[in-house]
Structure 1
Amino acid sequence: MDDLEAKEKAELLVLHKELDWLLKQEVHPVLQDIRETLQECYDSLPFHGTLEKSRPAELMPQRILLTCPNGPSMNFKSVVTLRGDCVEAADLQFKHRQGKEHHLFKTKIRQGAFWTLPQIRDAGNHLCCALEIVSRNEENYTYKSVKEVFLILDELMDRLMKCRQCLSLPKRKSIHDLIENQNLQIFNPPLPNDIAVSFYIHTSKLVLALYVLHHNGQHKVEITHRVQVEAIVKWLNEAIIFFTLSLQQCQQLKDKLMAVAQILESP
């Protein structure tokens, strides 16, 4: 064996030891750190989760003033009460055209009714799955290969991205979805026939959009005007930060393992 072969063999031995150390000493602490981050996120999200861990029977209501981000428009204002993943009270006020004149129209969600926000529930359910994945192996478990760790990290990152996407990428509603939404029936007095509204989450904000509709003679409906009011919700902002931080931790661990594994696999 010449000096070059001996040197290469020594380098490979060092790399194998480094990879073995990463698998034994680095994976568990990182996954534990991610688990603690996600648990903190779960505890801060006020929704009825599916984990065995007990949660408060009553979620605390939060009164929120929604305002127009680009300045007043149509005198659109709203004060809502958010409890977990439900808007359980809302006062709406907007300028509405009746004939040739505009009048201030006021309505509210009738008592006992509520508007559910499925994005929060869906994000919470994906979060529960992420917690299950990161808690799957006990601390004394020995990871045997990079591939095994990657399978866990890929599954975990997929759930975390879905958590974040549920909040940051609201599903676009068609005009049919807007006007056929049963939630429009929960307002008293009823909304005018040419008005539709929709509550949704966009990243860290609760948004209320108002649509002015035009019914043409061919039984088609067009949106002639749209305006929205919104407010940042603290715990939604924290959830986005937790999801992003956990994804970064997963990627950093993957990069460390990949850097060593690729050198060992190279010819």
Structure 2
Amino acid sequence: MATAMAATAVERAVLEEEFRWLLHDEVHAVLRQLQDILKEAALRFTLPGSGTEGPAKQENFILGSCGTDQVKGVLTLQGDALSQADVNLKMPRNNQLLHFAFREDKQWKLQQIQDARNHVSQAIYLLDNRDENYQFRTGAEVLKLMDAVMLQLTRARNRLTTPATLTLPEIAASGLTVVLGGPVPAQPSSCLPARPQRMFAPALPSDVLVNVYINLNKLCLTVYQLHALQPNSTKNFRPSGGSVLHSPGAMFEWGSQRLEVSHVHKVESVIPWLNDALVFFTVSLQLCQQLKDKISVFSSYWSYRPF
């Protein structure tokens, strides 16, 4: 009995020494690794030429799709904003080629990139917000920090991997495509209500909606072509809900008009530095989870939690 108790005491002493080493040494090594990785991720969002050196560098992305040649163009990304757009749209009804571009005084903010960058900055702040000689006293303290960092990293990743689901009226009312009120050029060929266009010159036809978003590491442009449903239409009108990408046949109301999507064109281009950022997020989350697992393993050796 005495021998067993002695063995237990020795084992406990060894485990406590290993746990102290984990808190005082390995935790700090992991935190330094996390800091290095996340600062590399932050650099991907701070493009060369940004900050005090002047405006962010402009990057041109050629839009393409293996399934359609109805839409072609180039989007210019400057930091977290689209500074230029140059798009050609071939109308399927008459093969008319339309060209539209951003007005020179307009940019379109990509909120997904801005939010992801802000979450990375917050994660770095959480890791940096202590003295270099700070010593963790308990495992619970480490777990709390890891949970907070992982929350910011998960939010950053989700902002890029999960585009917003929008209804067609929300797309129609966005500043990218249309706004309510104000003058609009006459478009006698369109059967839809006139709607002013803020971003584009020349103005988009009123039977065209445009949406731009980030999906994983890709910059995506979706063009919806619409037609009005006649009051005597026999179609069963069912307004569509929110979606990242609406399909032909989707319906919605705009003012007093009922509209239906007739054609959908999606083109995209890969943003290499967003792919890098997503890899950094994944590696960082794995490091956080591994450290949490090591901390938690020690609880199985005691009937009480030593942290």
| TM-score normalised by the chain length of structure 1 | 0.91
Aligned residue for 1:64, secondary structure, equals strand
1:71 aligns with 2:67: yes
Alpha-carbon offset, residue 55 of structure 1? 5.1
1:223 aligns with 2:242: no
* Kept in 2: contact 1:66–1:80 (CA 8 A): yes
Partner of 1:37: 37
Unaligned runs of 5+ in 2: 178-197, 232-256
User: Which structure has more RCO (C-alpha within 8 Å, separation ≥ 6)?
Assistant: 1
Q: What does 1:56-95 align with in structure 2 at a 5 Å threshold?
A: 56-68=53-65, 70-73=66-69, 75-95=70-90
* Kept in 2: contact 1:86–1:115 (CA 8 A): yes
Partner of 1:209: 222
Partner of 2:244: none
Partner of 2:250: none
CA distance in structure 2 between the partners assigned to 1:135 and 1:55 by the alignment: 23
* Kept in 2: contact 1:19–1:261 (CA 8 A): no
Partner of 2:96: 103
* Kept in 1: contact 2:56–2:78 (CA 8 A): yes
Aligned residues: 259
CA distance in structure 2 between the partners assigned to 1:220 and 1:122 by the alignment: 35
1:163 aligns with 2:176: no
Larger % of helix: which? 1
1:191 aligns with one of 196, 204, 207: 204
Q: What does 1:103-142 align with in structure 2 at a 5 Å threshold?
A: 103-142=96-135
Partner of 2:239: none
1:253 aligns with 2:296: no
Alpha-carbon offset, residue 101 of structure 1? 2.2
Larger Rg: 2
Aligned residue for 1:102, secondary structure, equals coil
* Kept in 1: contact 2:218–2:271 (CA 8 A): yes
* Kept in 2: contact 1:170–1:202 (CA 8 A): yes
* Kept in 1: contact 2:47–2:57 (CA 8 A): no
* Kept in 1: contact 2:221–2:268 (CA 8 A): yes
* Kept in 1: contact 2:222–2:264 (CA 8 A): yes
Partner of 2:139: 146
For residues 112-168 of structure 1, give each alpha carbon's deviation from its aligned partner in whole angstroms, at most 9, with x where no partner exists.
211110101111111111011011122211101110110100000000000101111
Amino acid at match of 1:94: L
CA distance in structure 2 between the partners assigned to 1:46 and 1:136 by the alignment: 21
CA distance in structure 2 between the partners assigned to 1:167 and 1:10 by the alignment: 50
* Kept in 2: contact 1:175–1:222 (CA 8 A): no
CA distance in structure 2 between the partners assigned to 1:137 and 1:221 by the alignment: 57
Q: Pairwise CA RMSD of aligned residues?
A: 2.0
2:171 aligns with one of 148, 155, 178: 178
Alpha-carbon offset, residue 266 of structure 1? 6.0
Determine what percentage of the aligned residue pairs are the same residue.
Answer: 33
* Kept in 1: contact 2:68–2:265 (CA 8 A): no
